Every structure is written in C-alpha cells, then in structure tokens.
Amino acid sequence: MRDRFLELLGPSGWRSTPEEMRPFARDWLDRHGETPLGVALPCSTPEVAAVLRLAGALGLTVTPQGGNTGLNGGSVISAGRPGIILSLARMNRIHEIDPIGMTATVDAGLVLQRLHDAVADHGLMFPLHLGSEGSAQIGGLIATNAGGSLAARHGMIEAQVLGLEVVLPDGSVWDGMRALIKDNTGLQLRKLFCGAEGRLGVVTRAILRLHPAPRVRASALLAVADLRSALKLGADLRRDAGDMLAATEFFCETGLEMLLRHLPTLSRPIQARGPYYLLVELASASNCADPEAVLADLIESAFEAGEVLDGTIAASDAQRAALWRLREEMPEGQRLEGPQIKHDIAVPVARLAEFVAGIEAGLQTVLPGVRVNPFGHLGDGNVHLNLSPPPGAGFDGRESALSGLVYDLAAGMGGSFSAEHGLGQAKVALADRLRGATERQLMAALIAAVDPEGRMNPGKIV
Ligand SMILES: Cc1cc2nc3c(=O)[nH]c(=O)nc-3n(C[C@H](O)[C@H](O)[C@H](O)COP(=O)(O)OP(=O)(O)OC[C@H]3O[C@@H](n4cnc5c(N)ncnc54)[C@H](O)[C@@H]3O)c2cc1C
C-alpha cells in the first residue's frame, strides 16, 4: 500500500509513520480518532481522484480532513473502520477574486482567515466568522455547513456556495463550478454536499459569493437583565436597523467569570455584572448609514426600560476586537475549566429564553450544583450549552442523564440537536434516537446511491 501511494503522490504527498500521522489522527477535542493506515496529501483534483481510485482498488475507506477543527469527530477515523485520511492541506490556492461578480474561486483546502485577508484587499467580505477561522478550511466548512456569528444575517455557508467541484467516491469528478446565482437545472446538487460531512465525496474547489465590506460599523457589549430582555432587544434591533444588524451574540456571567480566570490577559469592559451579556454589531457598506446613532438610540430606550443594565460602545477597532474576543474565547475558557459536556442546540428564536431557563432548572435536579454555561448566536436561536461539574467534583456518571434532558427539552420545542457542528461520529447514536425513521432512511439511501461500497468516511452521519 505504502509504495503504491508513494508512487502516486511522491514523498511530500504520503505520511505513514506514527510520528508523521500524529497531527492528523485525533480530533480537535482529542476525543475521537483511530490511527489511520496512512495520510494522503494530494495537491490537485486529478490527484484526489487517483487517491480515491487507488483506495477503492485496495479496499480502503477514506476520511477527508480539512483543518480538523470539527467538534464531533467527523474528520478522523471511526473505531472499527480502518482506512486512510485524505488531507486537503496542500490544495490551498485562491484562483480568482472577481470584484464585478463578487465571487471567489478557491481550493477546498484554503484556510478561512486567508480568504478574509484576500477579499479585504478588494473592499469585499466573505460573511462567515467563527472562532476556528485561523485553521478551518473552505472544504471542511462546506462539508459541515458551518454557521458562525453572521448566520442570522447571511445564512449558513450553503447560502454563499455558488459553484462546487467534488470528487465522487469512485474517483469521477462532478464539475459544478458555475458562478451563477440562478441555475435551476434540476436537483440543486451543490446543496447536497453542504453538510454531507465527507460522506458523498471530496469537495475540491468552490465558487463563493462575496459581499461589499462594511465601511461603517458600531459594536456594543451590553449587560442585560435576562435572556428575555436580550431577545426583545434583538427583535427591536432587527426592526430598527434592518440589514445593518450584523450579529447578536450572547454569553453569561458563569462563562465570563470562567474565561477571565483562565485567560487573565482579558478583562471586563463594563462594571455591571450580567446575568447575561449581549454583543451587538451593526454594519453597513454605505458611508451614509449611521449605525452608531441607531445603536445608541436603542440602547438608551432599553436602558430606560430596565432591560439593559450597563453597556459600552466600542470606540476603536482595538476595543471592538477586545469585545469580540470575549465571545470567541468562550469555548476556550470552558475547555480550560476541565471536564465538560458540550451541546450545540437550536430552538425557535422566540423560545430561546424559555429553553435556557427550563434547562438550567431541570439540570439541577439531575446533578445539584452542575454549572451551566450557555452562549451563542441569539439571532438564530443557537445556544452552545456547555456543562461543567460542581466545583471540585465530577459529573458522577450522570453525563447521559444530563444530556438526555437537554436533547429532550430541545426536541419538545421543535429544536435541533446539532445546530451547526454536524453529527460526525459523536452524534450518530443520538441522531438514531431523535431523527424520524423516514429522515434516516432517506439519508442512508442517498449515501448508498453515491457510495454503494460505503468507503467514504464510514461511521459518520448514519
Ligand atoms: C474554537 C472553535 C470554534 C468554532 N465555532 C464554530 C461556529 O461558530 N460555527 C460552526 O458552524 N462551527 C464552529 N466550529 C466547528 C468547526 O470549526 C467547523 O465545523 C468547521 O466547519 C470545520 O472545518 P474544518 O476544515 O476544520 O473541517 P474538519 O474538522 O477537518 O472536517 C469536518 C468534516 O468535514 C469533512 N471534510 C473536511 N474537508 C472536506 C472536504 N474537502 N470535502 C469533503 N468533506 C470534508 C470531514 O470529513 C468531517 O466530516 C468551531 C470549532 C472550534 C474549534
């Protein structure tokens, strides 16, 4: 096997010693990942196709891997399903930025931050921001249909994918690289690969939609009386600011206190303590807009109504970055705190406060003293509900009971058990429990139609 892959890809395209494979073998959270039989690093679409054909001939399974920042173990080898990893790391070129059509044509292995930097030079922006953007790749973001902080305004990444090129499990190449907003020529195949988590093939290139970069913006951090007030403020902002409303992110005092303890270089930007904090950003590409005035007006009325306890509007780019860091480092603060149980829930926006209040009370009945750290994207009802055990204690074997409560309450409200992180291998059993049989069979049938031998990333999704 080694010689065949070395012959195909050369020494820089194949890794097979334990030392060489270590960076690829385990997932971001170090929870999943069997040692692969090898790691292929092709540097072109024909090479990806050749790797899939050779893997097929050798009877090997293939797991595509991007930046390996996925949170459900999708990018590493599942237990009992030995195979190779196909890393896109060497396919990282920006082929074209079209300032008239406002599109970018890129390789799947391009790291998101590099795309942000490149399009900024053209006065454009790509509306996807998330804490992992320094490592996550375009192909991985598409394969997980990533959301992030701008999703309420711009949608998940699928809304920005115009064209795609995908190498199918048998090594054939689907060329869907069309830079078209309108293209109703049958099934919307590109949508099928958004969220497919590598089960239908390897995304190798994409044409992405760009947007004018904001010229004016205003960002504020507000301590709010409760989540209900935050939701009301979010809805008021949508009405008054319209398309200017770029993001409404929230976190709580439990999470902030944890973060400041573990990352002491960060500091509190406002005196008053939450229970909750709302990070709001208004932005516009038009110089005529005045987002700061709109924001200041709304904050004033919310302050008078007792919904906002305290707040600050960023006076500089550095202050804005400091506010955003508090939100973006929330997962890191939680990780440094020690053992944790993570949930990525979405509920209908109007029911977010009801969900969080209900779950906070319910969890205490399962494990008194459990610390609940909800944070996330208010505008799309997406809450990352992370749990830490009571100080100095463990979860005491109650992990399944705690998570079961979270998932059942969310399901009862018409929510999602995986809002933006996908299923990977971590949530397959959960999906089997919560997803209707018809939905599961439909997904299994689609995967089997494209990959009858079940060689692409087995053990993920279904
Ligand atoms: C600190 C932090 C913050 C995060 N914040 C967010 C957030 O706000 N919103 C959000 O949605 N996610 C978030 N995530 C999760 C993660 O960053 C996303 O899931 C991201 O989209 C994964 O991209 P990746 O390149 O790292 O993919 P990987 O982790 O390498 O892979 C993820 C899945 O995609 C498949 N895959 C990868 N590349 C390809 C390809 N080219 N073709 C086909 N399949 C492929 C893999 O097989 C796997 O199933 C966060 C993660 C971290 C660590």
Question: CA quadruple 426, 429, 431, 437: dihedral positive or negative?
Answer: positive
* pLDDT score recorded for residue 325: 95
pLDDT digits (tens, 9 = 90+) for 225-279: 999 999 999 999 999 999 999 999 999 999 999 999 999 999 999 989 989 999 9
* pLDDT score recorded for residue 460: 96
- Rounded distance between C-alpha atoms, residue 454 and residue 84, angstroms: 14
Q: 3-class DSSP state for residue 102?
A: coil
Mean pLDDT of 11-28: 96
* pLDDT score recorded for residue 360: 95
pLDDT digits (tens, 9 = 90+) for 84-107: 999 999 999 999 999 999 999 999
Mean pLDDT of 210-234: 96
Q: Find residue 61's DSSP bridge partners.
A: 83
Of all residues in the chain, what percent carry a pLDDT higher than 90? 98
Q: Find residue 377's DSSP bridge partners.
A: 249, 382
* d(CA 387, ligand 1 centre) in Å: 22
Mean pLDDT of 114-119: 98
Give the pocket of ligand 1 (CB within 6 Å): 28, 63-71, 74-75, 88, 108, 130-132, 136-137, 139-141, 143-144, 146-148, 197-198, 202-203, 331, 420-421, 424, 457, 460
- Read off the pTM: 0.95
Count of CB atoms situated within 10 Å of the CB of 123? 12
- Rounded distance between C-alpha atoms, residue 298 and residue 240, angstroms: 8
Query: Which residue among 31, 43, 132 has the greatest number of ligand 1 atoms within 8 angstroms of its CB, and so is best to mutate?
Result: 132
Q: Which residue is closest in CA terms to ligand 1's atom 16?
A: 70
* d(CA 28, ligand 1 centre) in Å: 10
Mean pLDDT of 162-173: 98
Strands annotated E in 192-269:
202-209, 211-212, 216-224, 245-252
Q: Which atom of ligand 1 is nearest to the CA of 166?
A: 42
* d(CA 315, ligand 1 centre) in Å: 33
* pLDDT score recorded for residue 49: 98
Domains parsed from the chain with CATH numbers: 2-87 (3.30.43.10), 94-212 (3.30.465.10), 216-331 (3.30.70.2190), 339-423 (3.30.70.2740)
Mean pLDDT of the chain: 96
Q: Which residue is closest in CA terms to ligand 1's atom 44?
A: 198
* d(CA 335, ligand 1 centre) in Å: 18
Q: Are 274 and 258 in contact (CB under 8 A)?
A: no
* pLDDT score recorded for residue 181: 94
Mean pLDDT of 297-309: 92
* pLDDT score recorded for residue 427: 95
Q: Which atom of ligand 1 is nearest to the CA of 200?
A: 43
Q: Which atom of ligand 1 is nearest to the CA of 129?
A: 8
Mean pLDDT of 294-310: 92
Nearest to 336 by CA among 259, 252, 254, 266: 259
Q: Which residue is closest in CA terms to ligand 1's atom 36?
A: 140
* pLDDT score recorded for residue 312: 95
* d(CA 313, ligand 1 centre) in Å: 32
- Half-sphere exposure of residue 43, counting CA atoms within 13 Å on the CB side? 9
Instruction: Say which residues have a Cβ less than 8 Å from residue 206's Cβ, sequence separation at least 6.
Output: 105, 106, 108, 138, 139, 142, 161, 163, 164, 165
One-letter amino acid of 377: H
pLDDT digits (tens, 9 = 90+) for 410-462: 999 999 999 999 999 999 999 999 999 999 999 999 999 999 999 999 999 99
CB crowding 396-434: b at 16 or more within 10 Å, else e:
eebbeebbebbbebbeebebbbbbbbbbbbbbbebbeeb
* d(CA 197, ligand 1 centre) in Å: 9
Mean pLDDT of 66-79: 96
Nearest to 62 by CA among 333, 462, 346, 457: 457
- Residue 11 is given by DSSP the state G
Query: Which residue among 69, 342, 420 has the greatest number of ligand 1 atoms within 8 angstroms of its CB, and so is best to mutate?
Result: 69
* pLDDT score recorded for residue 281: 97
Q: How confident is the model at residue 329 (pLDDT cuts 50, 70, 90)?
A: very high
Q: How confident is the model at residue 28 (pLDDT cuts 50, 70, 90)?
A: very high
* pLDDT score recorded for residue 331: 92
Mean pLDDT of 323-339: 94
